[in-house]
Amino acid sequence: MAMIDKDAFVASVNSDPEFALASRFLNSTMKLDMGDDPILLTFRDGKLANLSEATLFDSADVGIKGSAEDWQEFLQPIPKPFYHDMFAAVVREGFEWSGDVVTMFAYYSAFRRMFDVMRENATV
C-alpha cells in the first residue's frame, strides 16, 4: 500500500516556495525504502523531476531506509517525538541513512521541507 499520494506529493513539492528556495541547484537522487513501497526521487535543477518505484538495483546519492511502521509514525500529521524530523528519526528511531553526506547536509533544509510536504500528502 502506498503511504503517500505520489502525484499530489510531486505537485505539492514542486509548487512549494520554501522547498524551491532551499533546493536551488539540487541535482541528485534519493531512494526511500518505505517498507514494501520503495521509491526513487530524482531532482533536477531544484525540482522533483521524477518519482518512480525503486528496485533493488537502483542506486541513489542519498538513501533512507525504515520499516513500514516507522514510516507510518514519521508521516503522522503530528508525529511523536523523534519522528518529527528525519535527522532525529535516524539518530533515535529505526531509520538508517546512507550515501553522500555532503549532498544530505548541503540540502538538508530542502529535504526537511520535502518531508513536511510528504506528511501533508500521506495516506497513512
pLDDT value at residue 74 = 96
As a whole number of angstroms, the distance between CA 65 and CA 23 comes to 22
Mean pLDDT, to the nearest integer, of 78-84?
A: 95
Q: What is the pLDDT of residue 1?
A: 53
Burial classification of residue 118, based on how many CB atoms lie within 10 Å of its CB (0-12 exposed, 13-18 middle, 19 or more buried)? buried
Kindly report the backbone phi and psi dihedral angles of residue 33, in degrees, each rounded to the nearest multiple of 5, phi listed first: -90, 100
Mind listing the pLDDT tens digit for each residue in 85-95? 999 999 988 99
- CB–CB of 3/123 below 8 Å? yes
The domains located in the chain, with CATH, are 6-119 (3.30.1050.10)
% of residues, the chain, pLDDT over 90: 92
Q: Which residues pair with 124 in a beta bridge?
A: none
Asked whether the predicted pLDDT for residue 60 surpasses 80, the reply is: yes
- The pLDDT, as a whole number, for residue 37 is 87
Residue 61 in this model has a pLDDT that exceeds 80:
yes
User: CB neighbours of 53 closer than 8 A, spacing ≥ 6?
Assistant: 37, 38, 39, 40
pTM for the full predicted model: 0.94
